[in-house]
Each structure stands twice: as structure tokens, then as C-alpha cells.
Amino acid sequence: MSSDSSSGRDPNEAEATWVNDRTTFQRVYDVVTGLTAYQPADVVADRARCSPDGARNALGQLAEMGVVDRRGDRPVEYRRNESYFQWKRIERLAAEHTSEELRSRVERLLDEDADLQREFGVPDPDAVPAGQLGDATHGEIHDRLEALARWRTVRHDVELLQRAVSRASGRHGDGDIEASA
């Protein structure tokens, strides 16, 4: 019996536990959280280890709840609804942190954003010209691309955290003050 060296568990055993311990609906939900491209119910059923009818039923419920986007007729295809998962993250941040904690995180990210603007000499990661990598070594190019990816993440996180600040402020009654980007 081979085992997954990173966790020390047999991957087949882990899958069997997942199938046995979770309902069809829960397994379909688990699968759709990773669907960034539209997929038909048959593909979801295969990944969720359930029948196509079971997957269609769960997907229909998830579409009604706004968890998945649905398109087409034959075949109907589904993918995760990014807006739903963004809302869910904002709600979780607002519930788990005070508005002061969230504001502090926003300020740290805004400082990092300003540092990256100075480093690249442009106001936005998408404004970095491709030629700026010029005669750089492979390692330098890798580092610059990694910094650009981090910058995009910083911008995304600032937006989410500002929305969470607003939500937490309303929830805790401490005003509706947002940090500005």
C-alpha cells in the first residue's frame, strides 16, 4: 500500500473517508469550490464520486443559493460564483476581526503598495512595461514577476479588507470609516 509522503496517509484511504463521511451535497460543494471554468454535471459527479443525477440535484440547489453560476441548456454547465466566495470571505473577516484590526491590516498593505509603486516606478502593477525586465537574469525575472504577483494580491486584499472594515464597523457600531487606497 503506497502512502502520500507529505501527509503519511494513503490517498485512497483519504478519498474513501471523504466519500463515506460527507453527503453527496457536501462533496459536490467541495468540488465546485475549485471550479473556475464551467463544467457539466457529469464532470462534477465524477470528481464528487456520486451519480450524475445526484450532482445535478446538488448543483441545482447550489445555483439557487448563488454558490454556483449556471450556463447553457444541453449540457448545463456550472462553475463557482466568485462574488459569493468573495462575499463569504468578507463576512468571515468582519466576524473574526474588529474594524480596528482590519484597518491596521489595510494600512500595512497600503504601505506595501506604496513601496511596490516606488520599486517599479508606476502606479499600478498592470502599468509595468514588459521591457522593464530587459537584460535581467532568469532569477531576477522570476523575482520581479513574483513581486508583480504579490502587488496584485495586495491590491485585491486591500479591496476586500476595506469592504470587511465597512461590514465590521456596521456590525460593531463603530462608524463606517474606510481607509482610502
Sequence-distant (6+) residues with CB within 8 A of 71 are: 38, 77
Measured CA to CA, the distance from residue 113 to residue 115 in angstroms comes to 5
Is the Cβ–Cβ distance between 72 and 63 less than 8 Å?
no
Residue 91, CA distances (Å) to 8, 59, 95, 156, 171 in order: 35, 23, 6, 16, 10
Q: What average pLDDT does the segment 36-58 reach? A: 96
Sequence-distant (6+) residues with CB within 8 A of 34 are: 80
Overall pTM surpassing 0.85 (yes/no): no
Residue 169 is predicted with a pLDDT of 84
Q: How do residues 74-131 score in pLDDT, each as one tens digit?
A: 899 999 999 999 999 999 999 999 999 999 999 999 999 999 999 999 999 999 887 7
Say whether pLDDT at 11 is over 80.
no
The CATH number of the structural domain formed by 11-80 is: 1.10.10.10
For the chain, the domains span 11-80, 84-172
Residue 80, SS3 per DSSP: strand
Burial label, 127 (beta-carbon count in 10 A; 0-12, 13-18, 19+): exposed
Instruction: Please list the residues that pair with 71 across neighbouring strands.
Output: 77
